[in-house]
Amino acid sequence: MKEALRYSLYLVMGSQDCRGRDPVRVLDLAIDGGITLFQFREKNSGLTLRETVSLGERLRHLCRERNIPFIVNDRADLALLLDADGLHVGQDDLPVWEARRLIGPHRLLGVSAETVEEAEQALRDGADYLGVGPIYATATKPDAGKPIGTRAIAEMRKRLSSPVPIVGIGGIDVPGVPEVIQAGADGVAVVSAIAGKPDPRQAAKDLLQAVERATDSAAGRESR
């Protein structure tokens, strides 16, 4: 399952991001539009743990039905409970090697990294892919810090010892996609550019088209 993954368009979302709509409906539309990966990120939403589990079960069920990998943010316990395909942790979360120990060898482990050093450490500790950001300014994650731009992605591509999948995250919508892909990312991870839009299906479609175009153009440039 790890081998078949496509990182082109990664939707990261919880109930707090859906503007009062049912997250299951928003996810269903986003899948129609072409997202390739989903992360359940319930943050400061006011849901109890029991409600979070219940929502997670509905989202997990939909992902299984539609063949979309289901990743859980931060919590290894929730990932195991929901039989998730993977877990995503940041630099202030569970240590990467502990996360790997808890979820076992077969589930996917994503790690946030801003520098080549953080990325190398994450890979040594068992990461399968990297989330790099915030690329642009974002209102979705108030503690994200200052935008780092796309240079960190280009540096990682140049200096990392293995060709790990990388997604850019933070403030990304259609106009920002080409720069992220040209820097060497395999895809983009977004919250508001899909979950915050009136038409999540069309938003996902537009983003996927932008990623595919940028990927083709980057490949063309490399072969010249």
By annotation, the residues acting in catalysis are 41, 112, 141
Any known ligand binding at 83?
Answer: no
Task: Evaluate whether 80 touches 52 at the Cβ level (below 8 Å).
Answer: no
Task: Evaluate whether 99 touches 76 at the Cβ level (below 8 Å).
Answer: yes
Which of 17, 42, 74, 114 touches ligand LCLJCK34 (CB under 6 A)? 74
Give the whole-angstrom CA distance, residue 187 versus residue 168.
7
What 3-state class would DSSP assign to 208? Answer: helix
> Considering the rule CB under 6 A, would residue 110 count as an interface residue with ligand 3NM?
no
Cα distances from 52 to residues 30, 82, 224, in angstroms, run: 20, 11, 50
Could you give the angle at which helices 49-66 and 23-33 cross, rounded to 10 degrees?
A: 30
| Smallest separation (angstroms) from Mg ion to the CB of 41 | 8
Residue 71 bridge partners (DSSP)? 39, 86
| Smallest separation (angstroms) from Mg ion to the CB of 96 | 12
Q: What is the DSSP letter of 173?
A: -
Question: Near ligand LCLJCK34 by CB under 6 A, which window of 35-43, 56-64, 199-207, 213-221?
Answer: 35-43
> Considering the rule CB under 5 A, would residue 90 count as an interface residue with Mg ion?
yes
Q: Phi and psi for 11 in degrees, rounded to 5?
A: -90, 125
Which of 41, 60, 75, 201 touches ligand LCLJCK34 (CB under 6 A)? 41
How far does CA 128 lie from the centroid of its chain? 12
What 3-state class would DSSP assign to 145? Answer: coil
Q: What is the DSSP letter of 198?
A: S
> Considering the rule CB under 6 A, would residue 23 count as an interface residue with ligand LCLJCK34?
no
> Considering the rule CB under 6 A, would residue 98 count as an interface residue with ligand LCLJCK34?
no
> Considering the rule CB under 5 A, would residue 42 count as an interface residue with Mg ion?
no
Which of 8, 15, 36, 112 touches ligand 3NM (CB under 6 A)? 112
> Considering the rule CB under 6 A, would residue 170 count as an interface residue with ligand 3NM?
yes
Q: Smallest Cα–Cα separation from 130: which of 157, 108, 112, 109? A: 112
> Considering the rule CB under 6 A, would residue 193 count as an interface residue with ligand 3NM?
yes
Which of 14, 86, 134, 200 touches ligand 3NM (CB under 6 A)? 134
Report CA Rg, the chain.
16
Q: Which residues are near Mg ion by CB under 5 A?
A: 74, 90, 93
Q: Which residues are near ligand LCLJCK34 by CB under 6 A?
A: 10, 12, 39, 41, 43, 73-74, 88, 90, 93, 110, 112, 131, 133, 141, 167, 169, 189
Q: Which residues are near ligand 3NM by CB under 6 A?
A: 12, 112, 131, 133-134, 138, 140-141, 144, 169-172, 190-193
